[in-house]
Structure 1
Amino acid sequence: MHSKMHSKMVERAKIECDYLCKTLEESEKQLTGEGNKVSRPKIQRIPAYMAEKLEFQRYYRPQIISLGCFHNKRQGELYKKAWAAMYIRHTNLKAEDLFMELWGNKRMWRNLFDSDMVDTELLIVDGCCVLELLEKSDLSVDPEQELKISMDKLVRVHQDLLILDNQIPFQSLRFFCEDQERLQKCLCNFLQVHGIETSPKLPRKKRENEEVKVAVDGDDEEDPVHLLDYLRKALLMRDQHTFYKAINHKKMKRGSLHLRKYRIGTIQELKAAGIRVTKDSHNNSMYPSFKDGMLQLPELIVDGSTPHIFLNLVAYEMCPDFRNNFDISSFLVFMSSLIDQPEDVKELRLAGIIINELANDKEVADLFNKMDSILVPETPLFAHIRDQIHSHFESKRGRIRMLSWMGEAYNTFFRSPWTIIALLAATLGLVLTFIQTWFAIHPKSS
C-alpha cells in the first residue's frame, strides 16, 4: 500500500518537474526572442509606477480622441469616423476591400498590441483618421476649416497622438498609405506641429513575409513602432557613435545598477565655477557635450506639449520590450539637475538654449523640478559628462563656495522689497546701537 502511494507521488513529482522545466525553457526563449520572428515593442499600457504618479496622470490621458484599445473607444468617435471617411474618399480607397484584407489577417494585427481587444473596424477608423489629421496639419492648409474642428481642440488632438498607450502600429499607416512620399510628408507635418524641423527618412517598405528584426535602439533599417517612436528617432537622429567614441577609448567602470539622479550642479553653480553654457550648433539632437570648461546643450522649445512629449517618451523607454539606452530619460534627469530656480531658466533662455513659450521662467523651472522624480540607470555618456564637470568643480571649489554663499544671501535678504527694507532697518538699528554704545563708553568731554 505504502509502495503504491510512494510510486504515485514520485510519478506526480516527475510530471510537475517536467512541466516546470518546460515553462522555464519557454520563458527563456520568449525573453531572448528565440523562436519568435516578430520581436518588436507592442502597443502597451503606460508602466504602472509612472501612470500612478498623480503629477503625471494628466499627460497620460487622451483629452479629445482615443486610439487603439486601452482607452474609451467612443471618445472622439465623431471626429475619428468623419476624418476616416474624408481620407477614404479623397484617396479612392474602398472600405470593403480594406475590411476584408484586414479581417483575413486580424491575428497578425492583434499581435502588435499587448491586448486581444482589437477589431477590424478599430484599425480602419484609427489608421485613416490619423492619416487625414496629419495630411491636413500642413502649414499650407487651414486645418480648422478642413477638419471642422476648433484650434484649441486641434492642439489637444495632437497632444493625444503623443500618449504611449494611445498609439496605433506604424504598419497600419503603411497599410492605408502605400505612397512613400505621401506618408513621409504626413510624418514631417507631425514633427513640425511639435517644433521639430528635421525628420528621419523612412526605410524602404518591407516585402511581404520579410522577417521583422528585434527592435534595437538606433536601428535605422526598421520602421518606427509608432508615431511616438518616430518622434524619438527624430530627437536622437544625430549619430550616437560621434558621442560615444570619445569615451570608448577609456576603460569605463561597469555601469551602476542603482536607479539614480545625476547631480551635476545648477546653472548658477556652473557659472560660479567658470563653466560657460552655450547652445550646440547642431540643433537636431538631444545630446549635450562638455569640453574645455564649456557645456554645450541643444536648443529646447518649451511649450504646453513639452511635458506630453517627454513624459511619454520616458514611459516608452521604460517598457520592458524596448531595448534602449534611456537617452531621453537621462537627458531629462540631466536637465532637472541644471535647473532649480527661475534664474537658471533665465540664463539658459539668454543663451538661446531654452525658447520659453510658457507664461514665465518659473513655469519652466517647475516643469523640470517635477521631472526630477525620474530615476534611470546611469548611462556611460552622461556619467562621462558628469565626471568631467565634477573634475572642473574640484579645481574651482573655493570660488564656488563663496558665490554659493552670496547666492543664498541674495535669496534670503533680497528676494522682495519687504526683505530689503527689513534688512536696511536692521542694519540701521545695529549702526545706531553701535553709536550709542560708543558714546556711552567714550563720553564727550566738556
Structure 2
Amino acid sequence: MGGLITVIAKHFGFNPEEHPLPALLDTLYFDATHLYKTGFSLPPIDTAQPAADTGPTAQPEAQSVPSVQQHSTKPAPPTQSAHDTPADSAQPTPSATGPSSSTHYCVYSKGTMDESRVTHISIQLCQKLLNPSAVHGHSQFSIFRVPNQLRKVYEKAYEPQIVSIGPYHRGKAHLQGMEKYKMHLLRQLLKRIIRRRGGEGGENEIQEEVRKFVVAIGALEESARQCYDQPICLHSEEFVQMMIVDGCFIIELIRSFVDVDNRRQEDDPSFVLKLDLYITSRDFLLLENQLPLFVMLELFNLMKIPSQQNCDLICMITTYLKYQNLLIGFPVIQGISSPECKHLLDLIHHYWLPSSILRGRILGQRDELKVIRCATELIEAGIKFKKVDAHPEGRGPSMFDIRFKNGRLEIPTLIIEDETESFLRNIIAYEQLPLANDICYATDYMILMDCLIDSRRDVQLLCRCGIIDNRLGDDEVIATLFNRLGDYVIPSSCHFFYSELFSQVNKHCSKKKNKWMAKLRHDYFNSPWAVVSFWAAVALLFFTFLQTIYTVLAFYK
C-alpha cells in the first residue's frame, strides 16, 4: 500500500520524505480516484526493491505540463524506472507547498477520424434521417404495438386468445386452431358469391374469383404495409394471402350475424364458431390484432352482388358490435366516412364520441384538474348518486355523459364482464398513440372512475346505486381493476373531459356546511349501529329532560 501511495505522490510532484502519510491521503484521494476512472494506469510496483519507495525523488524546479494527447499516445521512454514519474503524463505544475486540493485535471484524448469513416457514418445517418419509418413521426402509421410500459401491467389483456388478425400475432401456436376455420369460411364465401351471380361454384370459377381478390389486394400491399409501425417479415405472397384470408374472415363472420335472412344457410359455417363468438369478437378489438379498414372495404366491395350495392360495411360492423353489447347506450353517429377510420378499434373510438364533444363543447384545461374524493366520502359530503339509463339505440346519453346537478352525480350504468378490462385497456392504449389526436375521453373516464373507487366499499355503494352492474361477482376485483387501469397511462396534455364536473364537485365539498356534515357522518354515522346508538342517545336525553321537567313541576305543587 505504501508503494502505491508513493507512486501516486510522485506523479503529482510530492516528496514522500517531506509530507506525512495522512496529508498525502487527504490531498490525493480525489485526484487518484478520478484519474483511475478516466483511464489513467499506474506503472507496476517492483516489490523486489522496496527500498526504492523510501528514497527521495529528484524533481526539476520548473516542469512543463505535457499535453493530454501525448499522455495517451506516446510510449514511456525505455530507460524510465518503474517508480519514476512518467515523462508524458498529464499533471499540474507543483507549487512550493504542493498542489491545491481544489484543482483537478481530467485526462482525455482527442484525435482525428479517418475521412473515409466520417463519410461512411454520415451517409448511414442521413439514410436513417431520410427514411420516414426511422424518424419519430407516426403520421403514416395506424396499427401499433402496445407500449411496453402498458403491456407489462397486464399482458394478457393485449394478447388474442382465439384468432390472430394481421401480422403481429401470426403463427403463434395457440392460435393455429382457428386457421382451418378461416379457410373453410373463405371457401364457402366464394361459393356463395359465385352462386348468387349465376355460377355453379366450381373449381375454375373459384380460381377466377380468387384471382380478382389477389389483384385487388396486391395493389394495396405497399399501403397496407405502411400502416404497421414495425417492419413486417413476410414475403409479398404471404402478406397478400394474410390480408385476404383475415379480412374475409372478419367480414363473413360479421355478415352471418347481421344478415338474418341468410344466417341459417346450410353452407354457413358460422354456427361452428358459436362457442368462440364472444372471445372472437374480443380479439377483433385488440390494438395489435387489426387490419387496415381500406383493405376490408376493398374486399367487401368485391363480395357485393348487384342486389347488395347499397350495403354499407360500417353499418354492418356497428350493428354487429351492438349484438355483442359493446355499443349499447352510445350515440349513433351518422356520416362517419371510411377514410376517417383506420381499423375496427379506430372505428369504435369514432363511434364512442360523447354527445357533448359532438355538440362542439370546449374541454377544460388539464392544468385545472384537481381530483375528487372517492364515492363513500362524497356520500358523506352530501352528494348523491343517480343511475342514468342509456338508450339501447343511442338516442339517450352515452356512458361518458356524466353530469353534476343540485348535489347529485348522474352516471350511466357500466356493465363489467370478463372481457371489459381487456376492452378498456386496448381503447386506453389506443389513446396513448398519435392516431387518437389527443382525444382521450376513455382515459378521462378511467381517471374519473379511479377517483370514485378506492376500495370495495366504493364498489358496493356504486352497485347499490345501479351505476355498476357487477357480473364478475367480486367487488374487490373491480376495485383493483380501476386502481390499476391507469398504471403508466399518460393523460392528455391539453384537455380533460371532466374538468368542469370536477370543479363543481370540489366546490360543493369545500362549503363549510358540507364539510361539517361530512365529518359528522364519517365520525359518528359511519355504521348502522352508530346511527342506532345516536338515536338511542337522543331518545334517552329527551326522556331524561321530560323526567326532569315533571320532577320540577311536582316539587312546586
TM-score by length of 2: 0.59
147-156 vs 392-401, which moves further: 147-156
The answer as to whether partners of 1:169 and 1:225 remain within 8 angstroms in 2 is yes
Q: What pairs with 1:34-183 in structure 2 (closer than 5 Å)?
A: 39-53=139-153, 56-73=154-171, 75=175, 76-92=178-194, 94-114=209-229, 115-117=231-233, 119-138=239-258, 140=260, 141=263, 146-149=269-272, 151-178=274-301, 179=309, 181-183=311-313
- The answer to whether structure 1 residue 400 and structure 2 residue 518 are counterparts is yes
Residue of structure 2 in register with 1:264 after alignment: 372
* 1:37-89 Cα deviation digits (max 9, x unpaired): xx454212111111122xx1111111111110111336221122222223333
Structure 2: how far apart are the matches of 1:224 and 1:52? 28
Alpha-carbon offset, residue 394 of structure 1: 1.1
**Selected match of 2:442 from 315, 324, 328:** 328
Q: Helix, strand or coil: the match of 1:160?
A: helix
Structure 2: how far apart are the matches of 1:354 and 1:167? 30
User: Equivalent pairs: percent with the same residue?
Assistant: 22
The answer as to whether partners of 1:338 and 1:344 remain within 8 angstroms in 2 is yes
318-327 vs 118-127, which moves further: 318-327
Residue of structure 2 in register with 1:346 after alignment: 460
Q: What code does the residue aligned with 1:108 have?
A: S
Aligned residues: 375
Q: 1:387 to 1:186 in 2, by over 3 A?
A: closer
The answer as to whether partners of 2:128 and 2:135 remain within 8 angstroms in 1 is no
Q: 1:239 to 1:90 in 2, by over 3 A?
A: farther
Q: 1:151 to 1:404 in 2, by over 3 A?
A: farther
The answer as to whether partners of 2:282 and 2:419 remain within 8 angstroms in 1 is yes
* 1:229-264 Cα deviation digits (max 9, x unpaired): 11222222524164734x67xxx57578xxxxx632
Q: Helix, strand or coil: the match of 1:344?
A: helix
Alpha-carbon offset, residue 337 of structure 1: 1.4
Residue of structure 2 in register with 1:192 after alignment: 323
Structure 2: how far apart are the matches of 1:232 and 1:143? 33
* 1:275-309 Cα deviation digits (max 9, x unpaired): 12223463334242324322222332211221121
Residue of structure 2 in register with 1:231 after alignment: 348
Q: 1:26 to 1:69 in 2, by over 3 A?
A: closer
* 1:16-40 Cα deviation digits (max 9, x unpaired): 789878976887996678xxxxx45
**Which structure's CA Rg is the greater one?**
2
Q: Helix, strand or coil: the match of 1:301?
A: strand
The answer as to whether partners of 1:243 and 1:381 remain within 8 angstroms in 2 is no
Q: 1:340 to 1:253 in 2, by over 3 A?
A: closer
Unaligned residue ranges in structure 2 (runs of 5+): 1-110, 195-205, 302-308, 390-395, 531-557
Alpha-carbon offset, residue 270 of structure 1: 1.2
- The answer to whether structure 1 residue 387 and structure 2 residue 387 are counterparts is no
Alpha-carbon offset, residue 310 of structure 1: 0.3
Structure 2: how far apart are the matches of 1:64 and 1:86? 21
Structure 2: how far apart are the matches of 1:287 and 1:105? 40
Q: 1:296 to 1:376 in 2, by over 3 A?
A: farther
Q: What code does the residue aligned with 2:414 have?
A: L
Structure 1: how far apart are the matches of 2:379 and 2:350? 32
Structure 2: how far apart are the matches of 1:253 and 1:312? 23
Structure 2: how far apart are the matches of 1:370 and 1:30? 32
Q: 1:201 to 1:95 in 2, by over 3 A?
A: farther
Residue of structure 2 in register with 1:417 after alignment: none
Q: 1:334 to 1:376 in 2, by over 3 A?
A: farther
Structure 1: how far apart are the matches of 2:128 and 2:166? 31
Q: 1:358 to 1:139 in 2, by over 3 A?
A: farther
TM-score by length of 1: 0.72
Structure with the bigger RCO (C-alpha within 8 Å, sep 6+) is: 1
Q: Helix, strand or coil: the match of 2:385?
A: strand
RMSD between aligned residues: 3.7
